[in-house]
Structure 1
């Protein structure tokens, strides 16, 4: 029965011209069938890329939503391929965002600072630490406190938000701002 429905959908797609939009119920039915027939494969494809089942399900859902938004038959003539293309692109976006977050994490920044090799590392690290302390002193109290609790205290953003009675978003903003100031101070010292 499922194969018959797929054939009917394929025939309906082939009947469409490039200029004839599909109506919402037809689009919804096509996407529903795709979900039934290919969701397991799609989620497996995304898990392999994202290394996270939860993220894979999120991206799959977003891909189905985007597929539902298509109006032209030319855009849906190869629905399964288009679904996997959409999902693959969304997965790449997620991976890039994850890499940016990891690259800008305070823990990584200080790990690099404290593990530089060389005989003069201790003197350089002490000098850099003093520059960072000076930079942090120039920040507003809440910003400095959030940064210190997160980086040196090891508290999560959520814990700090509760403790400081602020939103998670504000704490992330404070930590990112402090990181930017510290990085800029070190970059200026290196350039000068």
Structure 2
């Protein structure tokens, strides 16, 4: 027994499978995940349509697919702590009042450094590195070329790194990396 939502889904969403699969193939490298991604898009579309059927189905479904891929890409950027250390070893990173204060000071410094960037460069860095938008999305959002986005990111990140290192932030990371490289040789 079908209801209006089921009928809508069968007649409006399922026929978009070819378009949806082309989009997934173009934008997601892992072909083993394509069927799962398709099913997740279908599930999200069905659930979202419960509150009201969209007027334009194709943009509705493709927006869901785009948002799903963005969510998945962001999750993949998060590295599991277990990849670096056993939980027992994490006591070294216990949040003490001193670490908390130091972290807040470093964050404040980062905000100052970001504010000192030229407006266009700052906007590109924030959209790309803070908001997590792709280079293509930033270019479209700002009405500039992807090459310009890339150049502004390099300029901004270099300026941020220079300013933070000049203030002593991050120097310990560089020392550790150099030590690891020397041990590897």
Q: Name the TM-score, length of structure 2 as normaliser.
A: 0.42
User: Rg larger in 1 or in 2?
Assistant: 1
The structure with higher relative contact order (CA 8 Å, sep 6+) is 1
Q: Name the TM-score, length of structure 1 as normaliser.
A: 0.40
